[in-house]
Amino acid sequence: MIRFPESINAGAALLAEIEKRSGQRLSACYQCGRCTSTCVAAFAFDYPPHRLMRLLQVGMVREVLASRAAQLCLDCMTCSMRCPMKLDVAGVIETAKAVADEAGLKDSERDLRLFRRGFLNNVRRHGRLHEAGLFFWFNLRTNNLFNDAGLLPPMLRKKNFHFVPPRIRHRRQVRRLFQQINGRQG
CA distance 61 to 7: 11
Per residue in 108-138, pLDDT (tens digit) is: 566 777 787 888 888 878 777 777 888 888 8
Per residue in 34-43, pLDDT (tens digit) is: 999 998 888 8
Q: Which residue has the higher pLDDT, 33 or 182?
A: 33
- pLDDT level of residue 186 (50, 70, 90 thresholds): very low
Instruction: Provide mean pLDDT across the span 10-33.
Output: 87
DSSP string, 14-50: HHHHHHHHHT--GGG-----HHHHH-TTGGG-SS-HH
- pLDDT level of residue 106 (50, 70, 90 thresholds): low
In degrees, rounded to 5, the angle at the alpha carbon of residue 38 between the alpha carbons of residues 77 and 114 is: 45
Kindly list the domain boundaries of the chain, sorted by start residue.
8-102, 110-185
Model confidence, pTM: 0.58
